[in-house]
Chain A
Amino acid sequence: RKEVEQDPGPFNVPEGATVAFNCTYSNSASQSFFWYRQDCRKEPKLLMSVYSSGNEDGRFTAQLNRASQYISLLIRDSKLSDSATYLCVVKANQAGTALIFGKGTTLSVSS
């Protein structure tokens, strides 16, 4: 089983739609969770950390289910500028260790 699995998509949605991405991770010792956004041929950029109680940042909502080892990202009122690849990322709770990245889910928002 891959460490972090994501549906690669692409998800093709119209502007204004709500879209959700899911991610599962295999290491139950993972303690930190993130969503990164990567535009074509650019570096990944931190979108948001994911907290146990779930958290929201504007149109973006992240949820964590530790029992199912599952993370989600919900985007409401999609904008053209949301088109990108969204990377699910987990980390064990040890300083200095690396992030484990999923391969990403591609979102395309059209007008």
Chain B
Amino acid sequence: QKEVEQDPGPLSVPEGAIVSLNCTYSNSAFQYFMWYRQYSRKGPELLMYTYSSGNKEDGRFTAQVDKSSKYISLFIRDSQPSDSATYLCASDNYGQNFVFGPGTRLSVLP
């Protein structure tokens, strides 16, 4: 079993939709959780990170961590075509050596 699992998609939604991206992880010692956005032919860029359980909001993006079920979510409100990218989740217990999910490819259609 991979330490971080993620549905690779692709996921297509209409512009303005609420997008829900999800990951599960297996290591109960993980404390740090991150979401990255990667455009084609570019390096991953950090979107959000959270420590331990709870929610974190930044503009149209909300990250949720449920440690009891080992579930990580990223919600995108009012999705835009510019949000079309691959989204990667990552987790770690010490905040340095992150394990990445395979990424979900998202397309937001105008």
Partners in one complex: no
